[in-house]
Amino acid sequence: MEEIKLKITNSLKHIAEPKTTEHINRFSNNEKQKIAGASKDFESLLTGMMLKSMTSSIGGFFGEDSYGGDYFDSIFTMELASQISKGSKLGLAEQIYQKVTGEKWDDSLIAPDKKFNVEFPLRKKETNGINTENSTPDSATITPSQSSLRRMGKYEPIINKFSENFNVDKNLIRSIILAESAAKPDAVSKASAKGLMQLMDGTAKEMGVKNSFNPAENIYGGTKYFAQLLRQYSGDVRLSLAAYNAGPGNVEKYNGIPPFKETENYVNRVLGYYKYFNG
């Protein structure tokens, strides 16, 4: 029998190529926009972490010991990272997008005026029986400076004691101390509020504090006063913090957190520290 020979020009051609899944119709345009936005958000977040690491040796953009510097440093770093990601081609977002969709990056997916900031949705949260439901967005986590944490470390036994005495979360006391004075016992504000928890003379007297520059007395008075505010506002931390900063009269006047930038920043700053201490 005559041998039949097959003419094969490409020895691998008879091996079928694996079928590939077309990505073109896997996602709708709306889904692609969301993926592109999430990719940019992630790139912005990573850029922010890089900026924070680069400035850590000098205590951030505003210096380690600046009053409220760690709060404004977090906000500034977030916004700067957002603008860097928005205005440059780092390539990370594009790679993520291509990996997920199988398509090349398309700038038209991103609105020109979109800001890639972290959003904090409205929500109700219960923490140790404390209600933080309110009409304002949640707060970003704020990492305190190492120097302020070292200073506050001296007062931990006092904080723990009055936390138990007045049934106030010790992390809230810590957060108020950081926001009020950066844990400096000799701090004095322009309004003459004094000490770690920045007691006004009238409030100090009402709480039985004789020397506001004495850390134990100051923390005693500040915690006692805040415990009263928590009872007054049925455990609503935001309203209690607003009253601590702007006075109960203003909270009653505006039927909520007063529309003062200082007070709004203060409430978010305290809760930002609080989120840090709660991990």
Is the domain of 153 the same as that of 94? no
Is the domain of 44 the same as that of 150? no
For position 27, what pLDDT does the model report? 74
Helix (H, G, I), strand (E, B) or coil at 199: strand
Query: In angstroms, what CA-CA distances link 221 with 144, 158, 201?
Result: 23, 12, 11
Residues 6+ apart with CB under 8 A from 37: 109, 110, 114, 116
For position 43, what pLDDT does the model report? 72
Is the domain of 197 the same as that of 260? yes
Indicate the residue among 107, 132, 158 that finishes a domain.
107
For position 111, what pLDDT does the model report? 53
The domain of 162 spans 143-277
Given a cut of 50, the residues of the chain with pLDDT beneath it are 6, 11-23, 67, 112-137
% of the chain beyond a pLDDT of 90 = 48
Q: Helices 170-181 and 146-153, interaxial angle, to 10°?
A: 120
Number of domains in the chain: 2
For position 112, what pLDDT does the model report? 46
Residues 6+ apart with CB under 8 A from 113: none
For position 85, what pLDDT does the model report? 59
Active site residues: 180
Is the domain of 150 the same as that of 43? no
Q: What would the pLDDT profile of 28-47 be if each residue is shown by its tens digit?
A: 777 777 777 777 777 766 77
Is the domain of 265 the same as that of 208? yes
Is the domain of 94 the same as that of 159? no
